[in-house]
């Protein structure tokens, strides 16, 4: 017979527990396959755009040309955020963590959306569009505010990827860089029932509003065991410094049983298909900027980890050096994850609203029973 302790250990972290039915995305960890609504991630990364992928995630099919144009126009029309939210952000401490800033400012957007609490599909899709359009504006605005620069107003002729890089850096990105960033957004858009997506579904399952559910998703993504790893990869590369120091650094780190950031995955037991694309981008950007140090270092660590531990890089490993070479500050890597993942979160929120059942599991009680209350002076 399984004891109470053994059975709760078996479900620690709900590993392997199927907690929802979804047609949005699926991960095959043995074969390294990721699909969105039936389409392989490689097919989408090679051919699609972030906007088209969002349509796919929300609607379960690829759009007609007209539908895609309408969605792009809707995003562009919604790029601006209320001045009141920007004013509020200006009062935040300049050293605040960008994920904390994003969590609070996304939540505040809800005050200014009169229909923000509706959960019928038509209105909830409109809310999802507004949030998806505005999240990048908030992330970029915080970068400008904290570094004492003027906020760059969104350019309504640009795609989400182009506009984000423009608002963040103050100048238009070159086409190849904007395309790499667009693909990075596609790659991060959904990943089945990861911790932040599960959080958004639990919140939506109470019929709370989309703003509340996304705010919860951001809070979950911020944790170092979830979205925070990409920043830590770049910190690690900087700590090591150069290729010749890798062998001794890695031997020492493994001896001390340290986790090598960006390596290993809870589901993938082979190459994470998203890493395949990000590796290419890290190299291409390194060549373009004349700084291949980070790519070369990453490749060497990847090779050693495969030889020594049989482990592969995950999505965070090469996105770190790619974003770094796009001049994005380290602590903005996780907010950028949210700029993309909001599409998957809102897809799951819409799916949850569409066939809702309050998510309310049970806990296995492993405490005492039948204790009798003792007055405080007798304890």
Q: Which residues bind ligand COA (CB under 6 A)?
A: 229, 259-266, 309, 311, 314-316
Looking at the Cβ atoms of 71 and 261, the one nearer to ligand COA is 261
Active site residue 43: no
Q: Which CB atom, from 88 or from 195, has the smaller least distance to ligand COA?
A: 195
Instruction: Tell me the C-alpha distance between 155 and 153, whole Å.
Output: 7
Q: Compute the least distance from the CB of residue 252 to ligand COA, in Å.
A: 13
- Name the CA dihedral angle for 105, 106, 111, 112, rounded to a multiple of 10 degrees: 100
User: Catalytic pick from 113, 209, 316, 348?
Assistant: 316
Residue number, 142 or 324, with CB nearest to ligand COA: 324
Q: Measure the CA–CA gap between 325 and 177, rounded to whole angstroms.
A: 10
Instruction: Specify whether the CB–CB gap between 328 and 170 falls below 8 A.
Output: no
User: How many angstroms from the chain centroid is the CA of residue 367?
Assistant: 36
Of 142, 146, 115, 120, whose CA–CA distance to 131 is shortest? 115
- Angle among Cα 324, 326, 331 to the nearest 5 degrees reads 45
Backbone angles phi, psi at 238, to 5 degrees: -70, -35
Which residue's CB comes closest to ligand COA? 264
Which residues have C-beta within 8 Å of that of residue 177, sequence separation ≥ 6?
A: 165, 285, 288, 326
Backbone angles phi, psi at 34, to 5 degrees: -125, 130
Distance, in Å, from the CA atom of 17 to the CA atom of 19, rounded to the nearest integer, reads 6
Contacts by residues 115-118 (CB-CB < 8 Å, ≥ 24 positions apart)? 116/209, 116/210, 116/211, 117/209, 118/209
| Residue 188 a catalytic site member | no
Residue 260 Cβ, how far from ligand COA at the closest point, in Å? 4
What is the spatial distance between Cα 288 and Cα 247, in angstroms, rounded to a whole number?
27
CB of 225 to ligand COA, least distance (A): 6
Gap between the Cα atoms of 207 and 360, Å rounded: 13
d(CA 268, CA 28): 7
CB of 117 vs ligand COA, minimal distance in Å: 33
Residue among 113, 182, 191, 265 flagged as catalytic: 265
- Choosing from 117, 226, 291, 331, the catalytic residue is 226
Closest by CA position to 180, among listed 45, 69, 351: 45
Nearer to ligand COA, 92 or 249 (CB): 249
CB of 38 to ligand COA, least distance (A): 23
**Shortest distance (Å) from residue 203 CB to ligand COA:** 23
CA distance 44 to 55: 12
Find the helix or strand (DSSP H, E) in which 28 lies: strand 25-28
- Whole-number minimum distance, CB 187 to ligand COA, in Å? 12
Q: Which residues have a catalytic role annotated?
A: 226, 265, 316
């Amino acid at each position: 017979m399984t004891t109470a302790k053994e059975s709760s250990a078996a479900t620690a972290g709900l590993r392997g527990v199927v907690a929802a039915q979804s047609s949005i995305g699926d991960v095959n960890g043995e074969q390294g396959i990721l699909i969105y609504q039936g389409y392989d991630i490689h097919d989408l990364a090679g051919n699609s755009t972030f906007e088209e992928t969002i349509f796919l995630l929300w609607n379960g099919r690829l759009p007609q040309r007209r539908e895609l144009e309408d969605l792009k126009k809707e995003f562009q029309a919604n790029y601006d955020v209320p001045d009141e939210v920007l004013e509020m952000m200006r009062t935040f401490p300049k050293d605040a963590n960008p994920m904390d800033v994003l969590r609070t400012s996304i939540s505040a957007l809800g005050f200014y959306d009169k229909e923000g609490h509706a959960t019928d599909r038509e209105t909830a899709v409109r809310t999802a569009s507004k949030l998806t359009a505005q999240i990048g504006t908030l992330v970029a605005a915080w970068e400008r505010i904290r570094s004492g620069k003027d906020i760059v107003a969104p350019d309504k002729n640009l795609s989400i990827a182009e506009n984000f890089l423009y608002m963040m850096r103050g100048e238009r990105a070159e086409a190849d860089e904007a395309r790499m960033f667009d693909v990075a957004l596609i790659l991060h858009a959904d990943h089945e029932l990861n911790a932040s997506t599960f959080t958004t579904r639990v919140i939506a399952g109470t019929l709370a509003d989309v703003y509340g559910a996304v705010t919860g998703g951001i809070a979950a993504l911020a944790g170092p065991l979830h979205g925070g790893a990409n920043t830590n990869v770049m910190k690690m590369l900087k700590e090591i410094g150069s290729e010749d120091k890798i062998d001794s650094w890695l031997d020492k780190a493994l001896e001390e049983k340290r986790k090598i950031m960006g390596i290993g995955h809870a589901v993938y037991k082979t190459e994470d298909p998203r890493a395949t694309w990000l590796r290419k981008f890290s190299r291409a950007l390194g060549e373009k900027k004349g700084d291949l140090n980070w790519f070369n270092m990453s490749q060497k660590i990847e090779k050693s980890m495969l030889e020594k531990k049989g482990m592969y890089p995950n999505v965070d490993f090469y996105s770190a050096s790619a974003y770094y070479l796009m001049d994005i500050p380290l602590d903005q890597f996780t907010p950028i994850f949210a700029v993309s993942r909001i599409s998957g979160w809102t897809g799951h929120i819409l799916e949850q609203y569409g066939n809702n059942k309050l998510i309310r599991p049970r806990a296995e009680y492993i405490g005492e029973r039948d204790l009798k209350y003792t007055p405080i002076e007798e304890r």
